């Protein structure tokens, strides 16, 4: 660390603490979980990393949330995967848990891949909702890394809750500290492992933070019955400060049918 | 609406260029011989859904590949309005049986069937039979009515898709096949495939419905009405009693021309013909054939009358009109009807099809889904219109191959 950086650090905390207190008075963020020292050390860590984020915590080709979902889904359940992509998750669930799986996907190429995998797939646009799909007709409806890509996220969530007894939702947390620093200090749209696309290529059009989602759930009277996060390469249950520390989140929800 | 961009056009042209496989080609089923069997004799008539009966009933069919020892590898292909049992390969008896048009080209779905093809004759026993009331070897209005000793003509009873499928089931009994690995068809053939899944759910393992839905749209009914009007008002029609006399060729040709319009799409017509003049650089200001599209339709009409019977066209379009799976099996509710389905199901639509539009194909798939049954619904992007199910053999071939590869449900 250079002399200049050390000075910055020693001068930093007091001023930062003031700012943080101001911040806390203005927003209802759980900022108390973050001491000024901790914030400074995060900034240091951020600055010492190569742009583009770290590549750790994920086994190649296998998503962390697939593992969690596999544990949550009960054997033989009826499962609907919204935005099922090329059907990897459903294929695994069918193979390992004997579920009765159905996918919905809009991209024709991915639909073909599903058929190649032997996964039943319905080509449709989630933004149109699920008209004609009966209430409560699935034990689980999965929305894996899809919520942030749809035009009508609330419509899709409501439909998910309508047709399923339980919903499983995973998405990148835009409140994650690296995201905040990339944008807040870096001044650039964040490109990290959970958000790997440059702004002009990203399919993510409705990003939200963990806090945003929880606020929606409270408003919509959707009950969150289970929560998991990926944080610094570790998969663990949700903690209080995870709006800052979770890179990706997974919720199991149910509506008040 | 306008001409599609040059790039799209080029791509589409490239797709269209297909090599016709000769009978010696390793992926061809080779020379074919049709079979004709009397499934119903005079003593036990075949009773029809709309009332009335036919006896005797002969059925012309073709098979490719070998039935395995377990007798569980059979795939039944159902043909559409103007189709026949000659679905693949080269008819060895085309000349002998007066079907000269078959000398020029292989069966109507040749790209899809053969050794190593999507419907692989190394693995599967493929069957296709001509429908009742048609004019390709199965009993129809051209045949002699034993009660009168004359051709049936309009004395032939009205037939339905349900009748066709029951007759196909009789053929299966004859062949000693209890359960089909798959039923598959496009357009009116797709409706037969659906009818199989509904009428004989225990006899079907996989159902593939292409460019087809549970019923024809009012627009489709309207097209058929105009087609029949052209035939019925032809001066040669003579109330259907024209055998041995000049046939109502103009009426049938007009019906076929209209049909071809409905099988294409606006984009496909721009690509195929545009507004180009036929063999001239300036219009002649006449009512003759001026534009390429007119020439195409005229050719299609003329060549059709060489190979099709006007009465058969009336009967088959009527069967197409009446088919309504919801009414037959669900008291008007398609989801109730589809609760009968036990097979794996795939429905494929084509984006520019306006005869069986994607929306209606999707509705069918959804009705199966509503019963908690897994279904695959795919809309193939294509500007070939309804014809796409015959033309888009690459995309469709992959889908069918893959769907069937995972097909054993138990």
pLDDT tens string B355-377:
999 999 999 999 999 999 999 99
Is B402 part of the contact surface with chain A (CB cutoff 8 Å)?
A: yes
Residues of B designated catalytic: 187, 353, 386
Comparing B239 with B15, which gets the higher pLDDT? Answer: B239
pLDDT at B38: 98
Is B336 part of the contact surface with chain A (CB cutoff 8 Å)?
A: no
- A117/B406 CB distance under 8 A: yes
- A122/B398 CB distance under 8 A: no
Decide: B193 and B209 in contact? Cβ < 8 Å: yes
pLDDT tens string B107-151: 999 999 999 999 999 999 999 999 999 999 999 999 999 999 999
- B399/A101 CB distance under 8 A: no
pLDDT at A11: 52
The shortest CB-CB distance from A123 to any of B369, B378, B395 is to B378
The shortest CB-CB distance from B377 to any of A100, A123, A137 is to A123
Whose CA is closest to A95, among A75, A113, A80?
A: A75
The shortest CB-CB distance from B376 to any of A78, A100, A115 is to A115
* Class of domain B219-322 (CATH, top level): mainly alpha
Q: What is the ipTM of this complex?
A: 0.89
- A123/B379 CB distance under 8 A: yes
User: What is the percent of chain B where pLDDT is above 70?
Assistant: 94
* Class of domain B6-218+325-405 (CATH, top level): alpha beta
Q: Has residue A59 got a pLDDT over 70? A: no
Is B403 part of the contact surface with chain A (CB cutoff 8 Å)?
A: yes
As a 3-state breakdown, chain A gives helix, strand, coil percent values, each rounded to 5, of: 40, 20, 35
CA angle B66, B72, B75 (to 5 degrees): 65
Provide the chain B residues 354-393 that lie in CB contact (below 8 A) with chain A: 362-363, 365-366, 369-370, 372, 374-381
E-assigned strand segments in B332-398: 344-350, 375-380
User: Average pLDDT over chain B, rounded to whole?
Assistant: 94
- A122/B406 CB distance under 8 A: no
Q: Rounded to two decimals, what is the model's pTM? A: 0.90
pLDDT at A33: 64
Q: For residue B368, what is the nearest residue in chain A, using CA coordinates?
A: A133
- Three-class HEC string of B50-91: CCCEECCEEEEEEEECCCCCCCCCEEEEECCCCCCCCCCCEE
- A108/B381 CB distance under 8 A: yes
Instruction: Return the SS3 of B361.
Output: helix
pLDDT at A45: 82
Is A93 part of the contact surface with chain B (CB cutoff 8 Å)?
A: no
Mutation pick from A93, A116, A123, A134 vs chain B, by most beta carbons of B within 10 Å, is A123
User: Average pLDDT over chain A, rounded to whole?
Assistant: 87
Average confidence (pLDDT) over B223-237: 98
pLDDT tens string A169-189: 999 999 999 998 889 888 999
Mutation pick from A109, A115, A116, A163 vs chain B, by most beta carbons of B within 10 Å, is A115
Which part of chain B has CATH 3.40.50.1820?
6-218+325-405
Average confidence (pLDDT) over B89-94: 96
- B377/A133 CB distance under 8 A: no
Decide: B325 and B337 in contact? Cβ < 8 Å: yes
Length of chain B: 410
Which part of chain B has CATH 1.10.1740.110?
219-322
- A124/B362 CB distance under 8 A: yes
User: What is the percent of chain A where pLDDT is above 70?
Assistant: 82
pLDDT tens string A12-34: 567 766 776 676 666 655 455 66
The CA distance from A116 to the nearest CA of chain B, in Å, is 5
Provide the chain A residues 39-78 that lie in CB contact (below 8 A) with chain B: 78
pLDDT at B5: 43
Q: For residue B404, what is the nearest residue in chain A, using CA coordinates?
A: A118
* Predicted confidence band of residue A206 (pLDDT cuts 50, 70, 90): very high
Q: Has residue A75 got a pLDDT over 70? A: yes
Phi, psi (deg, nearest 5) at residue A71 = -70, -35
- A122/B376 CB distance under 8 A: yes
The CA distance from A252 to the nearest CA of chain B, in Å, is 22
* Predicted confidence band of residue A58 (pLDDT cuts 50, 70, 90): very low
- CB-count exposure of residue B63 (10 Å: 0-12, 13-18, 19+): buried
Q: Has residue B54 got a pLDDT over 80? A: yes
């Amino acid at each position: 660390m250079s002399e200049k950086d050390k000075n910055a650090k020693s001068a930093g905390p007091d001023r930062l603490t003031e700012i943080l207190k101001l911040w806390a008075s203005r927003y209802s963020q759980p900022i108390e979980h973050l001491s000024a020292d901790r914030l400074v050390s995060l900034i240091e860590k951020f600055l010492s990393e190569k742009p583009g984020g770290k590549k750790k915590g994920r086994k190649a080709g296998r998503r962390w949330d697939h593992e969690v979902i596999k544990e949550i889904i009960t054997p033989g359940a009826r499962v609907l995967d919204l935005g099922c992509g090329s059907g990897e998750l459903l294929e695994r669930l069918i193979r390992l848990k004997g579920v009765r799986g159905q996918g919905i996907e809009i991209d024709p190429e991915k639909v073909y891949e599903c058929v190649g995998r032997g996964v039943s797939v319905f080509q449709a646009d989630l933004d149109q909702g699920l008209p004609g799909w009966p209430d409560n007709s699935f034990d689980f409806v999965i929305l894996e890394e899809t919520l942030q890509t749809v035009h009508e996220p609330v419509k899709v969530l409501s439909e998910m809750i309508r047709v399923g007894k339980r919903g499983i939702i995973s998405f990148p947390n835009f409140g994650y500290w690296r995201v905040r620093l990339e944008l807040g200090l870096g001044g650039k749209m964040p490109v990290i492992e959970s958000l790997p696309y440059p702004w002009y290529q990203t399919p993510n059009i409705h990003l939200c933070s963990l806090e945003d989602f929880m606020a929606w759930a409270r408003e919509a009277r959707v009950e969150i019955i289970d929560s998991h996060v990926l944080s610094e390469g570790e998969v663990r249950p949700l903690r209080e400060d995870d709006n800052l520390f979770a890179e990706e989140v997974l919720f199991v929800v149910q509506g008040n049918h | 609406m306008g001409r599609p961009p040059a790039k799209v056009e080029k791509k589409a042209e490239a797709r269209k260029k297909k090599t016709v496989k000769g009978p010696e080609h390793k992926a061809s089923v080779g020379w074919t011989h049709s079979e004709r069997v009397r499934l119903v004799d005079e003593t036990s008539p075949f009773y029809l859904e709309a009332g009335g009966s036919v006896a005797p009933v002969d059925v012309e069919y073709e098979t490719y590949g070998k039935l395995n020892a377990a007798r569980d590898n059979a795939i039944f292909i159902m043909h559409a309005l103007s189709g026949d049992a000659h679905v693949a390969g080269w008819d060895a008896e085309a000349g002998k049986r007066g079907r000269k048009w078959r000398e020029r080209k292989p069966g109507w779905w040749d790209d899809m069937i053969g050794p190593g093809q999507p419907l692989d004759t190394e693995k599967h026993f493929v069957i296709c039979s001509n429908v009742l009331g048609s004019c390709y070897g199965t009993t129809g209005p051209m045949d002699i009515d034993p009660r009168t000793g004359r051709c049936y003509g309009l004395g032939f009873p009205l037939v339905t898709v349900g009748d066709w499928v029951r007759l196909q089931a009789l053929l299966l009994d004859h062949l000693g096949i209890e359960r089909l690995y798959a039923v598959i068809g496009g357009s009116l053939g797709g409706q037969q495939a659906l009818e199989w899944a509904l009428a004989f759910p225990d006899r079907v393992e996989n159902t593939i419905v292409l460019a087809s839905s549970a019923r024809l749209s009012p627009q489709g009914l309207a097209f058929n009405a105009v087609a029949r009007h052209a035939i019925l008002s032809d001066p040669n029609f003579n109330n259907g009693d024209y055998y041995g006399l000049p046939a109502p060729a103009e009426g049938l040709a007009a019906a076929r021309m209209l049909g071809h319009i409905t099988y294409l799409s606006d984009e496909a017509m721009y690509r195929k013909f545009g507004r180009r003049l036929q063999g001239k650089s300036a219009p002649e200001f006449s009512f003759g054939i001026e534009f390429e599209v007119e020439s195409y339709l005229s050719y299609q009409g003329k060549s059709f009358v060489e190979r099709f019977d006007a009465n058969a066209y009336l009967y088959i379009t009527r069967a197409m009109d009446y088919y309504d799976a919801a009414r037959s099996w669900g008291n008007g509710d398609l989801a109730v009807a589809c609760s009968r389905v036990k097979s794996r199901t795939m429905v494929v639509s084509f984006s520019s099809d306006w005869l069986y539009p994607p929306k209606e194909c999707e509705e069918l798939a959804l009705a199966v889904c509503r019963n908690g049954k897994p279904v695959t619904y795919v809309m193939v992007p294509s500007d070939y219109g309804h014809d796409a199910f015959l033309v888009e053999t690459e995309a469709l071939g992959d889908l069918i191959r893959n769907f069937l590869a995972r097909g054993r449900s138990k």
